[in-house]
Structure 1
Amino acid sequence: MGFIAASAAADHGSKTWDRTHRSVVSVMPTWPGFDRPGFGAPKGTAPEGSGIVFSVAGGQTSKEILTAAHVVNKAKKVRIRTFDEQIFDAQVRWIDGVTDIAVLSIDSQLPSLPLTETAASPGEHVCAIANPFGLGTSMSCGVISALNRSNLGFNEIEDFIQIDAAVNPGSSGGALVDSEGQLLGMIAAIFTKEADIDAGVNFAISSSLLLARVNQSQNR
């Protein structure tokens, strides 16, 4: 029985990866005066984040990318890197500081994930597709621990999905997806009091809040 369960879980994980990873990008900002780039990067090169190529009209490709506002809000230049190592210049189209949501755009179409209000349940198996530590797109999986977390002090407006899937610096802006590869939320925060590393209490902005704020931005 254990072997069957493990095989089923592995099959589910590989299908989730196949359906989603092409729509998750690495976000590479340049911040004025940033002097701790590491890995021999030029001065001004800020820590990498993640982004989700998304569409609200059901299209299979898009030029628009969701990311966390804190990844790009100081940037004087932003580039994105795709799963197959293509590099594109990106423009910051909109930043919503009260929810930590930002929208970027590029000049090329990439495979996208539909942004809809997708139902989620505690205990549901989910995966985080992101760019932890700037290593490139990867996947970690776990379960939903709780829904509708708010008043945590991260943002003025909050509607978080709490998960135990591993999340680390660089994962902000990545995709939280269900077993069907549907977008449930955007990775945004780690809850820890000692270090900025995964402690199994992590948060994604819900798809309903993402959709509401993106729609508001497009109607302005």
Structure 2
Amino acid sequence: MKNFFYIFPVVKIIVLLISKPIFADPVNAWEIASPTVVSILPTWPGYDKPGFGAPPGTAPEGSGIIVSSDGLILTASHVISKATDVKVRDIKGELFSAKIIKNSISTDLALLKTELELRPITIKTEKPKIGSSACLISNSFGLNIGITCGVISATGLSNIGFNEIEDFLQTDAAANPGSSGGALVNLNGELLGMMSGIFTKNTDTNAGVNFAISSGLINKFLAN
């Protein structure tokens, strides 16, 4: 009988280890989605070169999301609407040119085209649950692509006052200047929305109330 009591706990532990579910985490989200997010460097009239946080005489940077393998990049309209030229910087630091092929000021969505073959992000069609985890991958402050995480605070928001047409996800994942156009993803690295606005009364920095355009509105924009 002694052998039974020695063996049973070991068997029980092995079963528990095997049956324990494997959960996704922010590392997984980063590894899957970060290669599909780029920095957007627009040149605006009156500015010599692009770059948020760069010396005076430079225009703000933003973020973009690769949405097709033939070089289509989604970004925020307000990042590129004044641009005379647009450059894109990938996560490895390589620069390449892009053309604006579609710009919807009413939704704050814009589409760029490059001549490169790129790996696109997977767009999640279902609306996320309130309270579910979400991570923002973006070019915050023009410091290159990074990640912040939080939760989905609300869904289906409109009449916030940013855009004429709104369907927002609210999140407390930190967003700052340069995050516009960034990818709000779940822990599987699937796109939930594109960062568009920060709600703040004082300065243009994160206050934990940030708004991403829903994947539903993004899909309508891409389909048209």
SS at 2:34 equivalent: helix
Deviations along 1:93-118, whole A, 9 cap, x unmatched? 10001000000011101121133523
Tell whether the 8 Å contact from 1:116 to 1:211 is kept in structure 2 after alignment: no
**Cα distance in 1 for residues equivalent to 2:122 and 2:71:** 13
The equivalent position to 1:188 in structure 2, one of 173, 196, 207, is 196
- The answer to whether structure 1 residue 200 and structure 2 residue 208 are counterparts is yes
SS at 1:107 equivalent: coil
SS at 1:108 equivalent: coil
Shift of 1:39: 2.8
- State the AA in 1 paired with 2:43: T
In structure 2, the residue matched to 1:95 is: 103
Shift of 1:33: 1.1
In structure 2, the residue matched to 1:138 is: 146
Q: State the TM-score, normalizing by the size of structure 2.
A: 0.85
RMSD: 1.8
Q: State the TM-score, normalizing by the size of structure 1.
A: 0.87
**Cα distance in 1 for residues equivalent to 2:90 and 2:124:** 23
Runs of 4+ in structure 1 off by over 4 angstroms are 35-38
Runs of 5+ unmatched residues, structure 1: 1-7, 56-60
Tell me which structure has the larger Cα radius of gyration.
2
The equivalent position to 1:13 in structure 2, one of 26, 47, 53, is 26
- The answer to whether structure 1 residue 30 and structure 2 residue 38 are counterparts is no
Tell whether the 8 Å contact from 2:70 to 2:115 is kept in structure 1 after alignment: no
SS at 1:110 equivalent: coil
Deviations along 1:41-82, whole A, 9 cap, x unmatched? 7x3x31100000013xxxxx3300000000000000000000
- The answer to whether structure 1 residue 53 and structure 2 residue 61 are counterparts is no
- State the AA in 2 paired with 1:40: P
Tell whether the 8 Å contact from 1:128 to 1:165 is kept in structure 2 after alignment: yes
Moved more, 46-55 or 11-20: 11-20
Shift of 1:207: 0.2
**Cα distance in 2 for residues equivalent to 1:40 and 1:213:** 35
Higher strand share: 1
**Cα distance in 1 for residues equivalent to 2:194 and 2:39:** 14
**Cα distance in 2 for residues equivalent to 1:89 and 1:176:** 24
Q: How does 1:106-117 map to 2 (within 5 A)?
A: 106-117=114-125
**Cα distance in 2 for residues equivalent to 1:62 and 1:130:** 21
In structure 2, the residue matched to 1:166 is: 174
The equivalent position to 1:177 in structure 2, one of 176, 185, 188, is 185
SS at 1:15 equivalent: helix
Tell whether the 8 Å contact from 1:142 to 1:165 is kept in structure 2 after alignment: yes
**Cα distance in 2 for residues equivalent to 1:168 and 1:93:** 26
In structure 2, the residue matched to 1:58 is: none
Identity over the aligned pairs, expressed in percent? 47
Runs of 5+ unmatched residues, structure 2: 1-21
In structure 2, the residue matched to 1:3 is: none
**Cα distance in 1 for residues equivalent to 2:168 and 2:114:** 28
Deviations along 1:179-201, whole A, 9 cap, x unmatched? 11111000110000111000000
**Cα distance in 2 for residues equivalent to 1:118 and 1:177:** 12
